Amino acid sequence: MNIENIKLEFLRPGPAHNQLLSPLTPYIALCGREGPVTVNFPFEHRQLLNRLERLRYITPSGAIPPQQREAEVQEIGEVIGEVLGDVPALATQIGNARINSKGLVHLRLSLSAHELALVPFEMSIAPDGFPGSGSPLFLQSRVPITLTREVRRDRPLPVSWDRTPQILFAFANPGSLAPVPAQEHLEALRRAVDPWVKWRQTPEDRVKELKSLITVLPDATLENIRQACSEWEYTHIHILAHGGRFEHGGDQHYGLALCIENNATQADIVDGERLSLTLTAAVSSGSVRHCPAMVSLATCDSGNIGSVITPGASIAHQLHAGGIPWVIASQFPLHMRASSIATEILYEGLLRGEDPRWVLYNVRQRLRTRSAGTHDWGSIVAYASLPWDFERQVETFRDRQIRAALEVKFDKAERILETSAKAGAAPAKGAPPAQFAKLKSLYDSIREDLAMWLDDLPSSAPKQDRAERLGMCGAGEKRIGILFNREGNHEQEKKAYVAACEFYRRALLADPVNHWVMTQYLSMRAVLAGKERLKSLAGEYGSWWIAARQIALWELPSVTGENKAWAHGTLAELEMLAAIYTEGKLNRKEVKRLIIEHCRAIRDLSVKNAFPVNSTLRQFQRYLDFWKRDEWQDLAAAAVGALSQGEPQATRVYRRP
């Protein structure tokens, strides 16, 4: 990922609260390795509050005319842009990113002074010397820049980004408040998760699959949100509610209007501290048991601090300070349509595995184009904490999501074939029936996804990553070939196996010591060979078989857990392929013993994660069902028997089919 991180920090002496903005107050600006500079914000506190009031669309005295509001957005953006322009190191670093052709600049804004949290930095107009001078800095595309805020702390928050997504959607509409667009948000989330919802024949079964990804909590109260978070590990929490004001220490702050327990008609205005304690469930030892990676608040003023006189902060700030790595909120009133648009763009991008910094940039751009006549694009505020390995976590998560989406498509193809078989359907000559047209569309889609995934890998990527993706492309073609076999289309089956063999060959060139791809290449060679050709494979590829087996044996003592199980799986398959790739008489009794020994080792290593067992079992079952040969039939049966004892169910997406 080509992202340049720039951190900009504004500091002043004294406590975070009880300080008003003034042009006379000096702030120390720190950016990169350059020395500190002193900057002043040219706002009197009351003046800024008046300006912000005019950005609320409607005030107690009436609606703000669009011309006045638009002029205010421009003027306040220009003033903030000039302040940013007073930090020479910031302009230098952005310029360097432009020269180095960085794809995205991530500006991390660290603020400790509460009065600065009132300043809508997200609306900054690029000053002279910055890319896109005169236009919104975080919308221009010459050098894409995204802005996040963060709480000043001694170390980044721990982030566990690479987890199977589980979304909690909580919404509340208490009392006489206007209805919230719950249906629109649910549909947006539904569209976002669609690639990972397994296809089922009946609507009831499809709803069950959807519920495994999204939990909906209507008439949300603080208590039922707490209970939901304590019972399940949600990776993303999306809250839709109205914003509301409350008093604390005689000053006004903003909270969100949830329902009161046992009375959905009355509002409970919840502040950020209460919500933070609710979302981060703790065990008896005091440690946090579950912590979502992201909380999105479709709530007006959820990023608005309110008064700076007494201690307190915005909901988003307090959630982030309470340990939630990513918080998306709104610092002004947010139009309902804009909240639905933002939800869809946000979750579609996140679940595809895109970097959230790119997603945030896209959200702001899409709001600017689709929510015309508003400044909703400048209302979106994000708090974020990035550990040192965040980009690697995002890449791993993206791989997980791509594999999971592919698995859903394969599952759909298999179920279509099962349904056709039960109905007694057969492939038609000429124009194919509807179900076979659907299958072709699925195969094309799978191949496109795999090709895009492979093309996305940068040329500088480690050879192991390239071999893994090429190997997965081969595995995809292999599975498509098996599906063609079940259709009875043996011509296309053979073409798919040839393509799989080529992908495995390329993977082997990328990483010559990868025993898995070498084994799969040998497997496909044997599957494709005719009877006469099969006899010559031992002389041509026998040394390859020896090398693959030796590499796997060398790796076995040095790996643990799942990787050890995969090594045993490779060795079990290689022992079976000895029937093809070794010359001379084969001691089949000894080979069976070794196969069973490796398969039992896989079971012993897969107590907590049954996937390696099921994956290896599926591979050996292919030899029995689709790739029948006298040379390995009894050996494959021995493996299936050893792996099938009390057959476990897969617990996660396949790694190596």
CATH number of the domain residue 347 falls in: 3.40.50
Question: pLDDT over 90 for what percent of the chain?
Answer: 77
Q: CA-to-CA distance for 36 and 32, rounded, in angstroms? A: 9
Confidence band of 426 (pLDDT split at 50, 70, 90): low
Q: What is the mean pLDDT of the chain?
A: 91
Question: Confidence band (pLDDT; 50, 70, 90) for 657?
Answer: low
Report the pLDDT value the prediction gives residue 654, as an integer from 0 to 100: 39
Instruction: State whether 269 and 349 are in the same domain.
Output: yes
Question: Are 132 and 249 in the same domain?
Answer: no
| pLDDT level of residue 282 (50, 70, 90 thresholds) | low
Give the pLDDT confidence of 490-534 residue by residue, as tens digits: 999 999 999 999 999 999 999 999 999 999 999 999 999 998 899
Q: Of 1, 64, 15, 81, whose CA–CA distance to 378 is shortest?
A: 81
* pLDDT surpasses 80 at 422: no
Instruction: Tell me, yes or no, whether 272 and 244 share the same domain.
Output: yes
User: How much is the pLDDT for 73?
Assistant: 96
State mean pLDDT over 453-482.
94
Query: Do the domain assignments include residue 202?
Result: yes
Question: Is there a single domain that holds both residue 619 and residue 508?
Answer: yes
Contacts of 185 (CB under 8 A, 6+ apart): 169, 171, 238, 240, 298, 339, 340, 343
- How far CA 88 is from CA of 34, 38, 608, in Å, comes to 9, 11, 54
| Of the candidates 337, 327, 267, the residue with the CA atom closest to the CA atom of residue 302 | 327
* Dist CA 22 CA 46 (whole Å): 9
- Residue 458 one-letter amino acid: P
Single-letter code of the amino acid located at 344? E
Nearest to 119 by CA among 48, 23, 54, 71: 48
Claim to verify: residue 406 and residue 381 sit in the same structural domain: no
Q: Which secondary-structure segment (H or E) carries 9? A: strand 3-11
pLDDT of 555: 95
Considering the domain boundaries, does residue 653 fall inside one?
Answer: no
Please say if the pLDDT value at position 277 is more than 80. yes
Show the tokens assigned to 281: 């469930």
**Is 158 contained in some domain?**
no
> Is it the case that residue 201 has pLDDT exceeding 90?
no
- pLDDT for 54-79, tens place per residue? 999 988 888 999 999 999 999 999 99
**231 and 243 belong to one structural domain:** yes
Q: Are 320 and 66 in contact (CB under 8 A)?
A: no
Same domain, 376 and 458: no
CA angle 91, 133, 384 (to 5 degrees): 55
Structure confidence at residue 425 as a pLDDT band (50, 70, 90): low
* pLDDT reported for residue 435: 77
User: Do residues 501 and 525 touch, judged by C-beta distance below 8 A?
Assistant: yes
In this predicted model, what pLDDT tens digit does every residue of 292-315 receive, in sequence order?
Answer: 999 999 999 999 988 887 677 899
DSSP 122: G
Residues 98 and 171 in one domain: no
pLDDT at 334 over 70: yes
Average pLDDT of the segment spanning 630-644: 95
Question: How confident is the model over 142-148, as a mean pLDDT?
Answer: 95
The pLDDT tens digits for 96-140 are: 887 776 689 999 999 989 999 999 999 999 999 999 999 999 999
Domain-located, residue 656: no
412: left (phi over 0), alpha (psi -120 to 50) or beta: alpha
Examine the domain organization and report whether 145 and 276 are in the same domain.
no
**Do 472 and 547 share a structural domain?**
yes
Q: Give the angle subtended at the CA of 217 by the CAs of 213 and 222, to the nearest 5°.
A: 125
What pLDDT is recorded for position 651? 39
Residue 160 lies in a domain: no
Q: Which of 236-245, 251-260, 442-451, 547-556 bottoms out in mean pLDDT, i.e. has the lowest?
A: 251-260
Residues 4, 106: contact at Cβ < 8 Å? Answer: yes
Report if residue 156 sits inside a domain.
no
Nearest to 649 by CA among 611, 620, 616: 611
**Residue 21, both tokens:** 């903005």
Name the helix (H) or strand (E) containing 564.
Answer: helix 561-581
Residue 281: pLDDT band by 50, 70, 90 thresholds?
low
Residue 652 domain flag: no
The residue written with tokens 């869809």 in the block is 344
Tell me the average pLDDT across 383-394.
94
How far is residue 32's CA from residue 570's CA, in Å, rounded to a whole number? 49
Q: Report the SS3 class of residue 167.
A: strand
> Sorting pLDDT into bands at 50, 70 and 90, what band is 648?
very low
Q: How confident is the model at residue 441 (pLDDT cuts 50, 70, 90)?
A: very high
- Residue among 516, 533, 531 at smallest CA distance from 612: 516
Is residue 639 within 8 A of residue 576, CB to CB? The reply is yes
Two structure tokens written together for 56: 């609320």
Tokens 């890449």, residue located: 395
CB 365 within 8 A of CB 376: no
Query: Do 560 and 606 fall into the same domain?
Result: yes
DSSP 199: P
Q: What CA–CA distance (Å, rounded) separates 454 from 406?
A: 14
Q: What are phi and psi of 256, to 5 degrees?
A: -115, 145
| Last residue of one domain, picked from the residues 102, 120, 150 | 150
Quote the tokens at residue 412.
């759909």
Joined together, the tokens standing for residue 388 give: 């040192």
Q: Which domain holds residue 122?
A: 3-150
| Other beta carbons less than 10 A from residue 427's beta carbon | 15
User: Residue 107 forms beta bridges with which residues?
Assistant: 6, 147
Number of domains in the chain: 3
Mean per-residue pLDDT, 603-624:
88
Residues 471 and 546 in one domain: yes
Q: Give the model's pLDDT for residue 189.
A: 97
What is the model's pLDDT at position 289? 62
Residue 155 has a pLDDT of: 82
Query: Considering only CA atoms, which of 333, 324, 314 is closest in space to residue 380?
Result: 333
List, for residues 16-51, the tens digit of each pLDDT value.
888 999 999 999 999 988 889 999 999 999 999 999
pLDDT value, residue 652: 39
Residue range 537-563, pLDDT digits in tens: 999 999 999 999 999 999 999 999 889
Tell me, what's the pLDDT at 617? 95
Position 468 in a domain = yes
CA gap 392, 374 in Å, rounded: 36
Identify the domain boundary among 124, 150, 176: 150
pTM, entire model:
0.90
* Confidence at 608, pLDDT banded by 50, 70, 90: low
Predicted pLDDT at 177: 83
**What is the average pLDDT across 352-361?**
97
Is residue 274 pLDDT above 50, yes or no?
yes
| Residue finishing a domain among 150, 176, 197 | 150
